[in-house]
Chain A
Amino acid sequence: MQQRINHEVKQRNCITVHRAQGRPVVFGHGFGCDQLIWLPVIDLLPESVAPVTFDFMGCGRSDFSAYDKEKYGSFNGYVQDLIDVIEALNLGAIDYVGHSVGGMIGMLAAMKRPDLFKQIIAIGPSPKYLNDADYEGGFEPEDIADLLSMMKRNHFEWAGYLAPIVMENSQRPELAEQLRKSFANSNPEISRRFAEVLFLTDNRAYLQKVPVPVTLMYCAVDAIVPVGVIEYMAAKIPYSEMVELNAAGHYPHVSSPQEVSQAIMAIL
């Protein structure tokens, strides 16, 4: 039974175990990406670390057919999936590295199952992206509405209708495979709903209940998450530490994998 569940979770979230021996570290990607985003960092980790990556529902090579509107209509579905993934590994408590929303999902999962987490390293996380009277999340509601409409327009009939035609008629067959990959990379409908969930949810109240140590890794200049948000989180999370990276942007693990892998090893 357990084996079967493990198998289902492995397929659903496309779990990849990069090394059999070593200290298990699970990496959770952020919105708009999939597990491949971690490859540059993982390549630089020493052999003492056994990295595990996976895809959140609707991203990468996750099983879109397992998508359930209700389950994934809030953070809960994604949180449960992360718990399932770590349980499926059957390695006990692990170190978790989560980028952006992947970091927030990790903290919420640790609240439910502290036994599965040694610690969390969250890169550029945010408990709330919208501005409030006394909180600067970085965005106004209309920004999110604009984002959703932009996503809609870009996925206008693409995935379902145009993609196969584009591929068929492509004058550059070498691109067809890449195109296919990019279309397969995320399900637009699921992505849009995920965007609604993550950009419109307020998780601030949970921060003080996070029961495991959290390292907040951030770039001084992050186009998505203002430094103020990181400071806010550090103040609320009981066991937290801020680590500033020299890299800029929201994807330091891509732009500066060296620095990020070193920072992770320093914490481990």
Chain B
Amino acid sequence: MIEANTWVEQAPVGLLAIHGDSTITHINTMLLKLLNYEREELIGQPINLLFARSGKLFFLTHVFPLLQHQGLVEEMYLRLRDRDGHDIPVLINASKVEDSKGAPRFLFALMPIQRRFIFEDQLVEARKEAEQALMAQREATDALQSAREELEEKQAQLLRLNEQLQRLANTDELTQLANRRSFEEQLEYQLALQKRQSGRAGLMLLDIDHFKKINDMHGHGCGDDVLCKVGKLLRELMREVDTAARIGGEEFAIILPGVDEQGLQTAAERIRKKIEATRWRHGSVTMSIGVTMVRPDDGREEVMQRVDRAMYQAKRQGRNCVEIV
């Protein structure tokens, strides 16, 4: 058996009782040891003696009003000051009771929290660091995201530019038809296709009759207008699958995949008539057209020579006509 008093005195927690006017009435040995005071130094003294100025301020503005109002304070952190002026962080629980005369008394249990205090500091610090890290990570992610978006935009720009370049490289500026280089590519492709699939394709070579005269009599501006308009007419008359190109000064060529000889001639005739029937600013324009069917063993040179021959035959026939070889 331990005596009631010993039990209170030796309990490993600081115990304190004060009057309503905040003077100390009881204090246990444990707390005296913690604060390095003798009992007679504290009994009858205001509780403020146990606080530094900041602790006093906190006690008076936070702990005491709460105690008076609600009669209860739980798990409140406070800093005490011992006899030698050292800060002692404690956790306090306090409650209000009435003495035999009905006057208020306040009881305090104080638990030193040196280690927990340091630990809490570290927790707070760690949390702050984690928050900062998270923030930095967010910023980095945002930066990465915007860099990626920028890159994608640049790539899209590059792609558009590339397409434009490609188009420029393959197009005859004046007529907006394919240029010679692109035409030759297309012709090679069609030849290769013919060999493999033994399909059909026709080739057409068109030359404006007396173009030099137009240039000489009406000026190069007028000649350019004629070229431009021929280009427009050819584009209108062609099918999607056809490739029309300007391959020389006044010389045009059209690749027509999938046509037979009959179809090829009909198409050429239609173009010839259309050109002939079109009203031109300076007078009339006609074209001599040579056509040929692509043969399975044709190379580019061979098929071109053949269509060239056909075109010259048309010229010799008196121009403004279609000849087939």
Contact = CB atoms under 8 A, between A and B. Distances in A.
Given A37-B69, A146-B52, A182-B70, A153 B120 contact: yes
A250 B124 CA distance: 33
A250 B72 contact: no
A139 interface: yes
B22 A156 contact: no
B240 to A, nearest CB: 68
B68 interface: yes
A224 to B, nearest CB: 6
B20 A250 contact: no
Interface in B65-82: 65-66, 68-72, 74, 76-79
A174 to B, nearest CB: 10
A150 B78 contact: yes
B95 to A, nearest CB: 10
Contacts of A254: 65, 68
A32 interface: yes
Interface in A232-268: 247-251, 254-255
A143 interface: yes
Contacts of A154: 62, 76-77
Nearest to A181: B70
Interface residues of B, number: 30
A239 to B, nearest CB: 29
B89 to A, nearest CB: 9
B61 to A, nearest CB: 3
Contacts of B57: 139, 143-144, 147, 224
Interface of B: 20-22, 46, 48, 52-58, 60-62, 64-66, 68-72, 74, 76-79, 120, 124
26 contacts: A31-B61, A32-B60, A33-B65, A138-B53, A139-B54, A140-B53, A142-B54, A145-B54, A146-B53, A146-B54, A150-B54, A150-B77, A150-B79, A153-B77, A154-B77, A178-B72, A185-B66, A195-B61, A223-B46, A248-B46, A249-B60, A251-B64, A251-B68, A254-B65, A254-B68, A255-B21
Interface of A: 30-33, 36-37, 138-140, 142-147, 150-151, 153-154, 156, 175, 178-179, 181-182, 185, 195, 221, 223-224, 247-251, 254-255
Given A182-B70, A195-B61, 19 more contacts: A30-B61, A32-B61, A36-B69, A37-B68, A37-B69, A140-B53, A144-B57, A147-B57, A150-B54, A150-B77, A151-B62, A153-B77, A156-B124, A182-B72, A185-B69, A223-B48, A247-B21, A248-B46, A249-B60
